[in-house]
Every structure is written in structure tokens, then in C-alpha cells.
Amino acid sequence: MAGLGLGGLGAAVRRRGGPARNAAVERRNLITVCRFSVKTLIDRSCFETIDDSSPEFNNFAAILEQILSHRLKGHITWFGYESPRSFWDYIRVACRKVSHNCICSIENMENVSSSRAKGRAWIRVALMEKHLSEYISTALRDFKTTRRFYEDGAIVLGEEANMLAGMLLGLNAIDFSFCLKGEGLDGNFPAVIDYTPYLKFTQSSDSISSDEEELRTLGSSGSESSTPENIGPPFIMDENSWYNKCKRVEQKYRLALEQKGYLEELVRLRETQLAESVSQNKLLLQQIEDMDLAHKMEKEQLEYIIVELQDQLKSFQSLDQLSADVSFSQTSLDPGHSQDGKQDGINLLNEGKEDTPSLLGLCGSLTSVASYKSLTSLKSSEYLASPTTEMTSPGLTPS
């Protein structure tokens, strides 16, 4: 009885854990395939333009539609019935806050009537505008609206939602070109994902050798009782396998050759840009050197002019001081000859204003105090002696 009870409990746990595991595996598969499809689109965009005829884009659009439709709630009618919804109903409400959005434009499209077709048109327009990641991020941030449209366990409500917005950001580097009147907008048929481009089976070397040994064993065992027609099929299969391997190698070679040409063109473009930058840098350096040289010459000229102006200012100040001293001394010694002294001082000042080194040296010698005192004493003695001599001479009589 205890064994039966434990067995029943384990079966119940497995039954309860089965749906949860299936939902987690489904979410993980969709996110993984979406990442692969984005990488495939980026690789393909290096060689050709992505449009509606591209199988990589059609697969990506189907994957994104499956992700946005995962566990989407139905619409409850007035009679209580639940009608199916499209992910466009959620996008139309959650992406209204995106600046310069295309929601109104898609709503007013005449050739698109069904909700599913409008959602597919929105995917194409958002890719051409390079705003698909921004739309998804804005919609996921509106958690209240997302909870209203989706059930528990949906991809947009789990941790995978942040991964989805991040991986879609790489599509902004691709230039898409779509026709919004094509068959891809037909909303009558559901989107189907093609998983074959993302399935890869790698056979180990041990497995290949065991297959060859098995073929040899089968050939040797059946050689006695079989006809050449019976031996033929293994060799035909072997030829087909070699042919498929050669085709795969050829495809890889062509892909590598295309990538090599793209990289060579990119390197050539970068080298041209680098050469232009180097030449521009040399021109700028030469201009800077010329400007520095011109500034140095201008600075030297200004310094020379300043020195000349300072010398002239000093000479003018010394001449003004000398003229003032001479006029003062003449006035104090002989008031009657003040006018003559002023005139002599003015003439001396005019003569001293000649900008010659000899006169500047002479003016400098006259400014010394000792020479000036000797000159003043000499003139005063002459002026004092002359009136006495005139008055005591016997030849002069007063008139």
C-alpha cells in the first residue's frame, strides 16, 4: 500500500510538472530560434538587400509573430464567448507612447483589413524605421497593459522578454525594403516557422568509421548470396553522401569568398579614410607651425616698438625737465632777461627734440647737477660785474 501511495504521488507530481516543463521548453526554443534568425539576417544583409522575398526575413517575421502571440488572451464578447486575438491588439495599445509612432498610419491603411495583417505590416514598417526594438521595449515597460493581454507563462511576462528587446537592437543596422501590398500581409494563414536552417547534426569521426565498417561487413556477408544489383545501393548512397559533402564545402567556400571580398573592400575603404585623415593632419600641423612663426615675429616687432617708445619717452622727459630748470634759473637771476631766457630755453628745447644720438648724449650731460651749478655761477658773476664797470668809467656821463 505504501509503495502504491508513493507511486501515485510521483505520477501526480510528474503530471503537474509536465505542462510547466513544456511551457519553459517552448519559451526557450522560441527565444533561441529568434536569436539565430537575427544573426542570419545580419549575415545575409552583408551581401544582399533584405526584402519580402528573403526566406530569412519570412522566417524571422514568423518567429516574432509566434513570440508576440504566445499565451495571448482571447477577447471576451458581450455574450461571454472568447474570440481569438492578434498581437496587433496589444501593440496598438502598448506602443502609443512611442514618439512619432506608426500606429495611426497602419490603422488607416486601405489594403490591410484584418488584425493579423496589420500586425505583419507593423513589423515591416518598424524594421524600415529602425525602431522595432524601441517599440518592443516600450510595450514591455507597460507591465499593466501586458498583464491585461497575456496569461501567466507568456514570453513577454518572463525573463526572456529583456533578452528579446536586446537581440532586436542589432536589426537597426540593416536597411530593409518591403512592399506593404504583397502576399506576406495576408492574414488568412498563420505564420509557420522553418526550423531546418537552424538544425545542425555533426557526426563524429568514430561514428563515421563505425558506419564504414558496418558497410564493409554487410558487403562481405552478402557477397556470396547476392547479385551485383543488390550490391549497388550502398555505393549509390555513398556517392550521394560524397556529393552532398562537396556541395556543402562549395557553399562554405563561396560564403567565405564573399566575406573575404566584403572585408577587403572594407579594409580598402578604411585605408582611404586613414590616408585622408593623415593628409589633413599634416596640413593642420603645417598651419599651426606657420601661425606660431607669424605670432613670434609679430611679438618681436611689438617688443622692439615698445623699447623705442620707452627710449623716446625718457628723452622727452629729460628735455622737459632741463627746459624747466633753465627757465626757472633765468627768472630768479635776472627778471629783465626772463624773456630772453625763455626764448633760449625754447630754442634749446626745439634743438634737443631732434632724435639723434649726439643730441641725446649732450642733453644727458647737461642734466648733471655739477655742470649746471658751474654754469649758473659763471653767468651770475658776469652779470654782477658789468654794471659797476659801466658806472665808474670816466668817459660816460649821464645824459
Summarised one tens digit per residue, pLDDT across range 22-59 is 888 999 999 999 999 999 999 888 888 899 889 999 99
Query: What distance in Å separates the CA atoms of residue 285 and residue 220, rounded to the nearest whole number?
Result: 83
Tally of CB atoms within 10 A around 193: 19
CB 162 within 8 Å of CB 106: no
CB 39 within 8 Å of CB 165: no
Instruction: Say which residue the cell 522553418 belongs to.
Output: 194
Q: For the residues of 269-311, what is the DSSP string, one character each?
A: HHHHHHHHHHHHHHHHHHHHHHHHHHHHHHHHHHHHHHHHHHH
Per-residue cell: 288: 599651426
Question: What residues have CB less than 8 Å from 381, skipping those under 6 apart?
Answer: none
- For residue range 216-243, what is the model confidence (pLDDT) as tens digits? 665 555 444 444 444 343 434 456 677 7
Tally of CB atoms within 10 A around 4: 8
- For residue range 243-276, what is the model confidence (pLDDT) as tens digits? 777 888 888 888 888 888 888 888 988 898 899 9
CB 38 within 8 Å of CB 55: no
Question: What residues have CB less than 8 Å from 196, skipping those under 6 apart?
Answer: none
How high is the pLDDT of residue 151? 92
Of 167, 170, 139, 169, whose CA–CA distance to 154 is shortest? Answer: 139
Beta partners for residue 82, in sequence order: 76
pTM: 0.50
The SS3 of residue 219 is helix
DSSP code of 362? Answer: H
**Mean pLDDT over the full length of the chain:** 75
- For residue range 72-127, what is the model confidence (pLDDT) as tens digits? 998 776 666 667 889 999 999 999 889 889 999 999 988 888 899 999 999 999 99
Of 157, 155, 94, 88, whose CA–CA distance to 124 is shortest? Answer: 88
